[in-house]
């Protein structure tokens, strides 16, 4: 009777070990490359106790081989006690050395549509929501050296934004 709980505790502890996280990183990158058909790289992946994540060197190309997203560092943590009261609280968010480019083509498609399509469900039926509402909030955000490019070809709008240095 106690064995399932012991196994669950062992698995929960193992995912915090760097070699296990490296295997998870490799599997995730391979899955994303295969699913999207584009180049995806991630230099380092870390789960942080109790519920947090850190990504270093995330790179995603669009279908034309251009940089869709590069993130030097992404960190975030999830408030564990807030989950007990049906609230999702993301905090300790850090984005550093980020380059992102969003382009809307003349035919109104975006350069990231292939990602949405890769994960879209073919099932369009909806189920009735029988769960209560959950709250969501974000706190403690730190942005360092962020460059964002937006090019909406149909309207001619072109925006470049730089935050931090």
- Let me know: does 60 contact 76? Beta carbons within 8 Å: no
Instruction: Give kind and range of the element (H or E) at residue 63.
Output: none
Give pTM, 2 decimals: 0.85
Residue 138 bridge partners (DSSP)? 90
Tokens representing residue 98 in the block: 């980020």
* Average pLDDT over every residue of 55-73: 97
Judge whether 55 and 32 are in contact, CB under 8 Å. Answer: no
C-alpha 101/C-alpha 97 separation (Å) is 14
Mean pLDDT across 94-105: 97
**In the block, residue with structure tokens 């964002």:** 148
Q: 153 with 109: CB under 8 angstroms?
A: no
Residues of the chain with pLDDT > 70: what percent? 99
> What local confidence, expressed as pLDDT, does residue 165 receive?
61
Q: Kindly list the distances between the CA atom of residue 108 and the CA atoms of 38, 75, 112, in Å, as whole numbers in the listed order.
A: 21, 32, 12
Mean pLDDT across the chain: 92
pLDDT reading at 141 higher than 90? yes
CA distances from 107 to 2, 46, 65, 110, 154 (A): 59, 39, 19, 9, 8
Residue 132 pLDDT > 80? no
């Amino acid at each position: 009777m106690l064995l399932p709980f012991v196994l669950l505790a062992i698995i929960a502890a193992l995912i915090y070990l760097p070699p296990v996280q490296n295997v998870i990183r490799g599997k995730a990158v391979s899955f994303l490359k295969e699913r999207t058909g584009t180049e995806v790289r991630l230099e380092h992946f870390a789960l942080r106790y109790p519920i947090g994540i850190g990504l270093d060197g995330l790179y995603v190309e669009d279908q034309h081989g251009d940089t869709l997203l590069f993130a030097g560092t992404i960190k975030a943590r999830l408030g564990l006690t807030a989950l007990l009261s049906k609230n999702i609280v993301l905090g300790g968010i850090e984005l550093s050395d980020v380059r992102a480019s969003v382009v809307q083509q003349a035919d109104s498609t975006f350069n990231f549509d292939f990602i949405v399509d890769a994960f879209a469900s073919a099932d369009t039926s909806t189920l009735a929501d029988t769960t209560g509402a959950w709250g969501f909030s974000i706190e403690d955000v730190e942005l360092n050296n962020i460059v964002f490019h937006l090019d909406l070809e149909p309207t001619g709008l072109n925006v470049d934004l730089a935050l931090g240095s």
